Amino acid sequence: MQKVWSVLMVLGLSVAQAPQGAVLLRLNEAKQAVVVGAFQGGRWIEAEKLSRLEARRYQVFGPAGRINQAQGAEGLTTPDICDWNRETPLVLLERRAIQYPAYAISAPWNPQPRPVVSFAPTPAHRQAVAAELDRRKIKKAPNITQALRADLDADGRDEVLLSANQPGFFLSNGRIEGSYASEVGDYGLILVRKLLNDTELRTFVLDVTHLEKPFDGSEGMPTVVTRRLGAILDLDGDGKMEIITEDWVHEGWGSTVWRWNGQQFVKVLEWGCGV
Ligand SMILES: [Ca+2]
Ligand SMILES: [Ca+2]
């Protein structure tokens, strides 16, 4: 009996020492990890408000699932540009090519409890995108760039997540770069199609942008319209998966975390860096 207790004490000790809550990093390239935020003590925490970060093991995800694992080190540093950002060293553990941006999550729960599947969009999906473009008087074809399927909220019905972009994505050295709008109507759009019950299919637009008038250099910055699904992960441990979306601006980029609250998708974390 005494032996059992000592085993339990050792187990208890190791549980107590395991990192609590979740930390989400964004990898823009192999050796650069920036903190998007954390979920700790029942709250979402922006990177800027994190006082410390312990050495953690991470799983690395792209839009369609897990793509690597990584070991983090203790500590946070503040970069020269975007001084509200926090960076931390991260070493990828599996030798396989990955596409950036990617997301590293450390959490004591399964961050992807149900599969996320990439699929070929059908005419019905193009029609749904076309309807949203029409609604905004965007006169461009529905060019779907990502089509993912996953049961986000564990109600037994898959949600459909789409990104649509004109121009499409631009890949440079293994990294997605934002595309500048060149014509009026060039756009980026992210939407979720969700069955609210057996019959009601609702479309939720998470992000949309388009070029309204030609850029002539007289004011503002040229418009980057790229909008993309970054990863689908349970970041707060409630068994429901959140959506990470990505946006680009002139010499800048960002990630936003969306959580389904039972009625709509709400922003719970935002990260960005731009000059
Ligand atoms: Ca569902
Ligand atoms: Ca969740």
- Give pLDDT tens digits for 17-71: 567 899 999 999 887 799 999 999 999 999 999 989 999 999 999 998 999 999 9
In a domain, 14, yes or no: no
Distance from Cα 10 to the centre of ligand 1, integer Å: 39
Whether residue 245 is found in the same domain as residue 138: yes
In a domain, 4, yes or no: no
| pLDDT, tens only, 31-42 | 779 999 999 999
Give exposure, 166-178, as e/b (b: 16+ Cβ within 10 Å): bbebeeeeeebeb
The domain in which residue 102 lies consists of: 20-106
In a domain, 263, yes or no: yes
CA-based R_g, the chain, Å? 20
Whether residue 97 is found in the same domain as residue 185: no
CA 228 – CA 246 distance, rounded (Å): 5
Of 106, 141, 175, which residue is a domain's last?
A: 106
The pLDDT value recorded for residue 38 is 98
Distance from Cα 37 to the centre of ligand 1, integer Å: 25
Distance from Cα 75 to the centre of ligand 1, integer Å: 37
Whether residue 254 is found in the same domain as residue 215: yes
Residues that place a CB less than 5 A from ion ligand 2:
234, 236, 238, 240
| pLDDT, tens only, 80-139 | 999 999 999 999 999 998 999 999 999 999 999 999 999 999 999 999 999 999 999 999
What's the sign of the alpha-carbon dihedral 72, 74, 78, 84? positive
Distance from Cα 122 to the centre of ligand 1, integer Å: 20
The pLDDT value recorded for residue 14 is 46
What's the sign of the alpha-carbon dihedral 44, 48, 49, 51? positive
Q: Would you say residue 217 has pLDDT above 90?
A: no
What is the number of domains present in the chain? Answer: 2
Distance from Cα 138 to the centre of ligand 2, integer Å: 33
Whether residue 190 is found in the same domain as residue 70: no
Nearest listed ligand to the Cα of residue 241? 2
CA 8 – CA 94 distance, rounded (Å): 33
Nearest listed ligand to the Cα of residue 268? 2
Distance from Cα 155 to the centre of ligand 1, integer Å: 5
| pLDDT mean across residues, the chain | 92
Whether residue 133 is found in the same domain as residue 178: yes
